[in-house]
Structure 1
């Protein structure tokens, strides 16, 4: 018997990186899992994958409904889909600000809004938002990205307060720099990828990038019945980046 037997989860951005690791872990714990992603080629065949762009309200509603109808309900939402941005406040044009906010913040709103009618019927309803250490620590060259993740942190707390009467718990995880395909693409675009990776690893007290599986473990804990008294909370999975100040 798995901890999540009989529960259904939907994971946005679930075809790669943290989302895929989370979908696999949810399934291993017994949940039926729907993976929502713009490109679903990388989704495992044993998971139910639905193509979905979180900037499309109608498409989001249809995708969430498809998962709920296939499995007879919905209990867990993992809002993981997101995109990055580099630069200071001088570097990103208005269109880029609107685009990244539309995916990273409003995308979570669309998915949650579509899922709420199903979650209200669940006895184990939980939402987990994937935030970032960028919401709580000032990182260079990440003004736009950090602003969206700060919004996600505040959104998580507001949602937790709003939906506690509905029996829905809402929490977040704050990963440090994770070893995902997205980060790999950023490194590959750097003038010296090896040096850039070394710099990112050195920035974290553990001296390594965060494995997606470590973030997935925290997400699955927050999503499951074992966290039944946990809401409005953020768990840092950042290798100590936020809290520790080690002597060199």
Structure 2
């Protein structure tokens, strides 16, 4: 019996709870997702680049917190994911929430922004996914869920670098879905519009935030795609746009 199982009432081993690794788990969306996943009884690895976890995250024996992890480095990503599988006896779903945003015009900005947003969005998801694939193939229902962006479907002013990076996430999602379709591992992405976060409220103080996407609502879509019931969905880019 490994760390994923516990005895049932009839003595037969049953799965205690699916194991989810959440990157970017200390942010607004990552934290909302962690709380929602814990409420469903899943065991969690909460992975983030930040050195300190915020208050309010799930805790206890079913939670592994990994702070200060640089997922743009392949070795660091591999070590973090392997630690999850070692702690819980396997991995069922990788939820790639880690990412970054910057509004900047091409003429008035820096080319470094293009490299930075590629690293924060595409490279983090690629490194984490590559590290997770061997473990996910051993799951009865392996899942990868990425976070793309509705803005990448038609980029607006100042969104070039960000949209290009998120378009890369979309392509990664579709390519991985095809790569893993015969291994029982699904790969999908959510494409949110504006997420209701304190930072976005500060940047757009006059906006009608009731039209934005609530983090809890986006988390619910992600958890469905990570569920066993979503077995027939792979390679999908799912718009989650609220009323924007």
Q: What's the TM-score, normalizing by structure 1?
A: 0.85
**Which residue of the partner structure matches residue 246 of structure 1?**
none
**Which residue of the partner structure matches residue 98 of structure 1?**
115
**Which residue of the partner structure matches residue 145 of structure 1?**
162
**Aligned partners of 2:22 and 2:108: how far apart in 1?**
32
- Counterparts of residues 160-171 of structure 1 (less than 5 Å): 160-171=177-188
2:140 is the counterpart of 1:123 = yes
**Aligned partners of 2:111 and 2:19: how far apart in 1?**
38
Deviation per residue, 1:202-246 (Å, 9 max, x gap): xxxxx52211001000000000011111111122111144xxxxx
**Aligned partners of 1:160 and 1:150: how far apart in 2?**
15
- Counterparts of residues 1-248 of structure 1 (less than 5 Å): 6-39=17-50, 40-42=52-54, 43-46=57-60, 47-51=63-67, 52-184=69-201, 187=203, 194-195=205-206, 197-198=207-208, 201=209, 207-241=210-244
SS of the residue corresponding to residue 196 of structure 2 reads coil
Runs of 4+ in structure 1 displaced over 3 angstroms? none
Residues 182 and 81 of structure 1, relative CA distance in 2, 3 Å threshold: farther
The number of residues matched between the two structures is 224
User: Is the contact between residue 16 and residue 181 of structure 1 (CA under 8 Å) also seen in structure 2?
Assistant: no
User: Is the contact between residue 6 and residue 31 of structure 1 (CA under 8 Å) also seen in structure 2?
Assistant: yes
Q: Tell me the CA shift for residue 152 of structure 1.
A: 0.9
Superposed CA RMSD in Å reads: 1.7
Alignment gaps of 5+ in structure 2: 1-14
**Aligned partners of 1:63 and 1:184: how far apart in 2?**
33
Q: Tell me the CA shift for residue 140 of structure 1.
A: 2.4
Q: Tell me the CA shift for residue 103 of structure 1.
A: 1.2
Deviation per residue, 1:158-208 (Å, 9 max, x gap): 1100111221100010111001244245x2xxxxx523x34xx4xxxxx52
**Aligned partners of 1:5 and 1:139: how far apart in 2?**
46
Larger helix proportion of the pair: 1
User: Is the contact between residue 34 and residue 58 of structure 2 (CA under 8 Å) also seen in structure 1?
Assistant: no
User: Is the contact between residue 173 and residue 236 of structure 1 (CA under 8 Å) also seen in structure 2?
Assistant: yes
User: Is the contact between residue 212 and residue 243 of structure 2 (CA under 8 Å) also seen in structure 1?
Assistant: no
User: Is the contact between residue 5 and residue 29 of structure 1 (CA under 8 Å) also seen in structure 2?
Assistant: no
Per mean C-alpha deviation after superposition, the further-off stretch among 32-41 and 86-95 is 86-95
**Aligned partners of 1:172 and 1:222: how far apart in 2?**
9
User: Is the contact between residue 92 and residue 144 of structure 1 (CA under 8 Å) also seen in structure 2?
Assistant: no
Q: Tell me the CA shift for residue 91 of structure 1.
A: 3.0
Residues 143 and 135 of structure 1, relative CA distance in 2, 3 Å threshold: same
Q: What's the TM-score, normalizing by structure 2?
A: 0.86
